[in-house]
Structure 1
Amino acid sequence: MDRNIRTVDDVLKLLDGLFAPEADRWTAGAAGWWDGFYDDRSKAVPFFVAKPDENLVASLDRGLIAPGGRVLDLGCGPGRNALHLASLGFRVDAVDLSPQAIAWAEERAREAGADIRFHQGDAFELAATGLTGPYDLIHDSGCFHHLPPHRRVSYLDLLDRLLAPGGHLSLTCFAAGENGMGSEVSDADLYRQSALHGGLAYTPESLRRIFSDLTEVELRRMNDEPPESPYFGEAFLWTALFRRDAADAGR
């Protein structure tokens, strides 16, 4: 008989287990699933392209994000956004669960002569032990929507630990509604079904509620970029930019 629950972390790990084997997409044991995903680099996967997110480029070009700071790229994959940020003089830490993704990103960085610090592992554990903030920008292109509802608590804690006062969260995630993508099953039903259905869709209202401790700068659909564009863009995604106000730090 197990009676081992005594901390919030114990509860979170118990809830992780309800979603096995999908837990392999966000926990420390995820290397196997994601390594299989990244193993064939010739697959027609939209974000395998070596192009930065159009919303990230637009935020930088419009001066919404200040140049030259420290950046954390969450779920960096093959490193397309990390490479773009490093080319602009940002000091970049890039995290991914998959050794295959990190190896691919490191290859791209070597070819580009980019100085990026790559970290393979669970971002939540690294936030507590291996990553040293504060970061002026945390960029997340497709990590957040793979988390089960209870791991939003861990995500917000990561932001609280690592995002600098005045810093920004740049987020890209599945959009609910017409021409969107991802599961629109309610949080409660996700637990009843013990399934995440490949990723969760969000409404603007749900994103505003989850990140209500931050100030919204922009929230819109991602532009649908044509194949010849130098930027990545798919209209089934939301893009959001939130700012952590200096007065909110340390609350």
Structure 2
Amino acid sequence: MDRSIRTVDDVMKLLDGLFAPEADRWTTEGAAWWDGFYADRTRPVPFFAAKPDENLVSYGERGLLTPGRALDLGCGPGRNALHLAALGYEVDAVDLSPAALDWAAERARAAGADIRFHLGDAFTLARTVLAGPYDLIHDSGCFHHLPPHRRISYLDLVDRCLAPGGHLSLTAFAAGEGGMGSELADADFYRQAGLHGGLAYSAGSLRHVFAGLTEVEVRRMRDEPSDADLFGEPFLWTALFRRDAPAVEARRVR
């Protein structure tokens, strides 16, 4: 007889188990799956190329972001971490896959970029070794691979790590015409015990999930040709949210 559930973490692990083996996509045990994904560096995977997200570049060009401390979630081969370091950010980059981090570290050495790479799942690392607060958290494609219950963990990470006045930048599968990912209702993922390759979001659902932050911009990603210097796929949303600094109560004059 199993009566081991006592904490929120216990509940999260129980729900994670419903999605095995897809849970490998966001748990520490997922290193083997992702290592297999990154094993052949010549595969025609658009985000294997060493070029940053077009939205991230756009935010900097429009003055929406100011260099400071940055956290790159699911950094993969390091393309966005390299861009942020080149802009003057102090960068921490996280991934589950040793193979991905090895590739990213090679690129960083070649570019002379000083980036701190961390192996493991970001939810655990956010409670232990990630030295926030960060002025920018960038997520290029992690959020849509999380099951619904792990949005709680994601929001906890943002709450722990994002500085007041800092920004969350992310890309996620877009629902609707020209989009990608599953449009099943949240509850149906548990009934079917599968994520169907990832969750699609509407602009409204992203705004709902991140209602505790202030929206700066939500739009479809621009379609960038394969020979462009930037990464862009229109089946993705791009979103930029800001964590507003708490209001300072005016001192009462006596």
Pairwise TM-score range, normalised by the shorter structure: over 0.9
Instruction: Quote the residue 2:48 is aligned against.
Output: 48
Find the counterpart in structure 2 of residue 80 from structure 1. Answer: 79
CA deviations on 1:77-104 (whole Å, 9 max, x unpaired) are 0000000010111000000000000000
Query: Residues of 2 paired with 1:231 and 1:140: CA distance?
Result: 16
Matched residue SS, 1:139: strand
Size of the aligned set, in residue pairs, is: 248
Q: Per-residue CA shift, 1:49-100, capped at 9, x if unaligned?
A: 1000000000000000112x00000000000000001011100000000000
Q: Are 1:188 and 2:204 counterparts?
A: no
The structure number with the bigger radius of gyration is 2
| Cα deviation digits, residues 87-138 of structure 1 (max 9, x gap) | 1110000000000000000000011010000001010000001101000000
The residue correspondences of 1:125-164 to structure 2 (distance < 5 A) are: 125-164=124-163
Alignment of 1:34-113 (within 5 A): 34-67=34-67, 69-113=68-112
Which letter does structure 1 place at the counterpart of 2:61?
A: D
CA contact (8 A) 2:54 2:221 kept: yes
How far is 1:45 from its partner? Answer: 0.6
Residues 140 and 171, structure 2, Cα contact 8 Å, conserved in 1? yes
Aligned AA for 2:123? F
Matching residue of 1:240: 239
Which letter maps to 2:92? D
**1:224-247 CA distances to partner (integer Å, 9 max, x unpaired)?**
001221100000000000000001
Moved segments of 4+, more than 6 Å:
none
Structure 2: distance between partners of 1:226 and 1:198: 24
1:227 corresponds in structure 2 to 226
Structure-2 residue corresponding to 1:168:
167
Question: Are the equivalent residues in 2 in contact too, given 1:165–1:248 (CA < 8 A)?
Answer: no
- For residues 208-227 of structure 1, the aligned pairs below 5 Å read 208-227=207-226
Tell me the equivalent position of 1:26: 26
Q: Distance in 2 between matches of 1:13 and 1:228?
A: 42
- Could you state the TM-score of these two structures normalised by the residue count of structure 1? 0.97
Q: Deviations over 1:115-172 (max 9, x none)?
A: 0000010100000011010000000000101001000000000000000000000010
Is contact 2:46–2:226 with CA below 8 Å preserved after alignment?
no
Output the CA distance in 2 between the equivalents of 1:141 and 1:122.
Answer: 15
- The separation in 2 between residues aligned to 1:83 and 1:65, in whole angstroms, is 16
C-alpha deviations, 1:152-198, integer Å up to 9, x for none?
Answer: 00000000000000000001011000000011111100000000011
TM-score with structure 2 length normalisation? 0.96
- Structure 2's unaligned 5+ residue stretches are 249-254
Q: How many percent identity over aligned positions?
A: 76
